[in-house]
Amino acid sequence: MKIWIFPLALVVSGSAVAQSTFAVHSGDRVVFYGDSITDSSQYPNFIETLILTRYPGMDVRFYNSGVGGDRVTGGWMGSIGERLPRDLFAYRPTVFTIMLGMNDASYRAMDAGVFNTYKSGFEGILAEIKKNAPSARGWLIRPSPYDDVTYEPKWKPGYNDVLIQYGELVAELASKNVYGVVDLNKPVVDTLTAANAIDPKTAQKIIPDRVHPGNAGHFVMAWNVFKAWGGTGVLSETEINASAGTSVGKGVKLSQVTASANGVKWTALGGGLPFSFDRNDATVSLVLKATKIDEEVNKQIIKVSGLASGQYRLKIDDSTVGTYSAEDLAIGINIGNLTTPYSKQSALVNSLTWKRAEVQKTWWREIQFKYRDQNHSLLKGAVAGMRKLEEGVIKEQKAAAQPKPHTFELVKA
C-alpha cells in the first residue's frame, strides 16, 4: 500500500475571507446607534463575534449606543442634541450604523405628520454626522419588522407596512448621503413566513412581543449586516487527493499530510471559526430548519478523494466528529455545523463578547450617565477604571479567537 507524504510545497494557503474586501478594517471604531432593539445588544454582539472569529487579525473597537424607546428626537437618556455628542461622536467613530423607526412611527397607521417628523429628524442626525464625523463610513438600517406574519395585523395592511415605508425613506437618505443601507425588515419577515409554515406556535416566539426579536431573529439581522459589509460564510476549504499525492488548503494552512488509500492524516492551522448556534433553543432550531442560514453561515469544507471504498471516521484531535463514505468525502463534507474544537472555541469568543458588552454598558449607562451630575473628577476616574477592565476583556476576546492547530485523521471503519 503506497503511503504519500506530502511536501509542504504542495500545500497552498490562502484567505477564504479576504480582509481587504471587508467593509470594517483593523483600527476601526464601530458604533451601533438605535433604540431598544439595538439596546438589547444581541445583533451588535453577534456581528462582533462574527468579525472576531473570521478576522482574528483585526483590531476593532465596538460601542453599543442603543437606548430603549429612542426616536430620531432622542429619549429618556437625553435629546438628540445630547445623545449624538455623548453617545456617538465621543467615540470618534470610523464606522456607524443607525436603526430608528420602530418607535417613531408611533404604532399607528401611516400618518403624514408623524412621518415628516421622522424625516426631518433623521435628516438632522445625518447633517450632524456630516459635520462632526465627516469621514465615518455609515450604514443606515431599515427598521426591523413588527410581526404581522405570525400574528394577525391589528389593521390592514398592518403596522409593518408603515415600517416598510419608513425603510424606503431610510434607503433614500442613505443614497443621498452616500452611505450604505441594510434591509433588516424583509429578511426577518421572510424568516417568519418560512418558520410559520412549519411550526406556527414556535414561530410566534421569534419576535415574542411582535417588536423585540429573540436570539434567532437577532442572528438573522446580524448575518444580513455582516453580509452587507462583505462578510462570507466560507471559513476554509481543504482538498486532498490521497491517490495522487496532492493537497490544497484555501483559508487554512495544511502540514504533516500523510495519506494512503485507507486513510489520511494532516494538521490544519487557520481558517475562520464557525458561529456556534444554541441548537437547544427551539426558535433557533426552527429558523435553521426553515431557512438556508445553517448551510450559508458555516462553510468549513473537507474534500478527500482517492480513498478506497468504505466508511471512514473523521477524528479531530483524537475525537470522532462523524462517519462518512468515501463517496461523500470525494464530493466534500461540511464540518462547520458539527460540534468540533472550532465550534467550542467560537462559543468561548461569543461568551467573552457578551461580557465585554456588559462592561461597556455598565460604564456608559450606570456610571457615566447615571452619575453625570456628580463630582466630575471622581466620575472620570470611575469610567476610566471600567474602560480599563473592558480593555482586559478585549484582550481575552482576541486571544480566544486566534487560530490553533488541529490534527485531522480519516480512519477506515
- Give the model's pLDDT for residue 295: 87
d(CA 134, CA 230) in angstroms, rounded, equals: 22
Rg (CA), the chain: 24
- Give the model's pLDDT for residue 245: 83
Q: How many residues does this entry show for the chain?
A: 413
* Residue-by-residue pLDDT tens, the chain, 413 positions: 455 555 543 444 334 444 568 999 999 999 999 999 999 999 999 999 999 999 999 999 999 999 999 999 999 999 999 999 999 999 999 999 999 999 999 999 999 999 999 999 999 999 999 999 999 999 999 999 999 999 999 999 999 999 999 999 999 999 999 999 999 999 999 999 999 999 999 999 999 999 999 999 999 999 999 999 999 999 999 999 998 889 999 999 999 999 887 899 999 999 899 999 999 999 999 999 999 998 899 999 999 999 999 999 999 999 999 999 999 999 999 999 999 999 999 999 999 999 999 999 999 999 999 999 887 888 999 999 999 999 999 999 999 999 999 999 999 98
Find out whether the peptide bond into 157 is cis, omega within 30 degrees of 0.
yes
- For the chain, report the end-to-end CA distance as a whole number of angstroms: 17
- Give the model's pLDDT for residue 262: 82
> What's CA 254's distance to the chain center, in Å?
27
Look up residue 38 and give its amino acid. Answer: T
At residue 260, what are phi and psi to the nearest 5 degrees?
-145, 180
Contact 274, 234 (CB under 8 A): no
In our burial notation (b when 16+ CB lie closer than 10 A, e otherwise), range 358-396 reads: ebbbbbbeebbeeeeeeeeeebeebbeebeeebeebbee
Name the DSSP letter for residue 76: T
pTM greater than the 0.85 cutoff: yes
Domains and their CATH numbers in the chain: 1-17+232-413 (no CATH), 19-228 (3.40.50.1110)
d(CA 169, CA 167) in angstroms, rounded, equals: 5
At residue 91, what are phi and psi to the nearest 5 degrees?
-90, 0
- Give the model's pLDDT for residue 158: 98
The residue written with cell numbers 425613506 in the block is 169
- Give the model's pLDDT for residue 149: 98
- 201-207 contact pairs (CB < 8 A, 24+): 202/282, 202/283, 202/286, 203/149, 203/150, 203/286, 204/147, 204/150, 204/151, 205/282, 205/283, 206/147, 206/150, 206/283, 206/286, 206/287, 207/145, 207/147, 207/150
d(CA 29, CA 59) in angstroms, rounded, equals: 9
- Give the model's pLDDT for residue 5: 56
d(CA 40, CA 43) in angstroms, rounded, equals: 8
- Give the model's pLDDT for residue 3: 57
The DSSP bridge pattern shows strands 319-325 and 311-316 to be antiparallel
